[in-house]
A = this chain, B = another copy of it.
Amino acid sequence: MNINDLFLCPICRNIPLSERESFLNGLNYHLKTYKKGAFIARQEDPVEALYLLLSGSVKTEMISDAGTVLNIEIIKAPKPLAPAFLFAENNRFPVDVIALEACEVVFLPKKSVMLQLSSNEAFLRGYMAFNSNRTNFLSERIKLLSIKTIKGKLAQYILSRARGNYFTFEINQTQLAEYFGIARPSLARSLSEMLEDKIITFKKNEGEILNMNALKELVVS
């Protein structure tokens, strides 16, 4: 493990080379490794440090009040885990965090994080930007979930990603179905119908909008 990998992480990568040594010296960090299947954090654990996943990947799961398990997302290194919750009034992990393979995590105690946020503008900006992007991501997901039909969700997803008439899906259809909260065959069926109706073309995660008006109508119908 190389602690300098920390500077590949979104919230740290804009820290100038010249400031990195003093940044590390001010951190009071510690490192930990996890085997596949290990719990890195459990839902309701207090978040008392910033967790930076340096290598490996994790899944997050939420156990609902009724006791069922909901898969939330897969996070690949290098990424912070639940950075917003370090400062929440209810500063507890909202999810279980489970290693999908061997993982390395660096822990930055809250005190160190506060100190660095106050003294290092690049870190402050990186931290704020990451949390802001997260808010954007969650807002978009709410917008999608609010749309009642699967074709409507698909149409909104395509419109939000379109550059001119072209679009790319950054995730595969299984992941997209999970993101929409629907079953994969239902997604595939809706997508096929949109191809048949010549509203879009789509192949290998890339596509073109053929009928923009029809696509926009799907969002509201």
A-side interface residues toward B, CB under 8 Å?
Answer: 62, 64-68, 70, 84-91, 94, 114, 117-119, 121, 124-125, 128-129, 131-136, 138-139, 141-143, 145-146, 155-156, 159-160, 181, 216-220
Contacts and interface: CB of A to CB of B under 8 A. Distances in A.
Given A65-B219, A135-B88, A220-B64, A142 B142 contact: yes
Given A132-B87, A134-B135, A142 B143 contact: no
A15 to B, nearest CB: 15
6 contacts: A65-B219, A86-B128, A118-B121, A131-B131, A138-B139, A145-B181
A133 B89 contact: yes
A89 B131 CA distance: 10
A7 B171 CA distance: 44
Given A85-B132, A133-B89, A135-B88, A65 B159 contact: yes
A117 B131 CA distance: 15
With most chain B CB atoms within 10 A of its CB, the pick from A86, A135, A216 is A135
Given A94-B136, A220-B68, A87 B125 contact: yes
A88 B118 contact: no
A88 B129 contact: yes
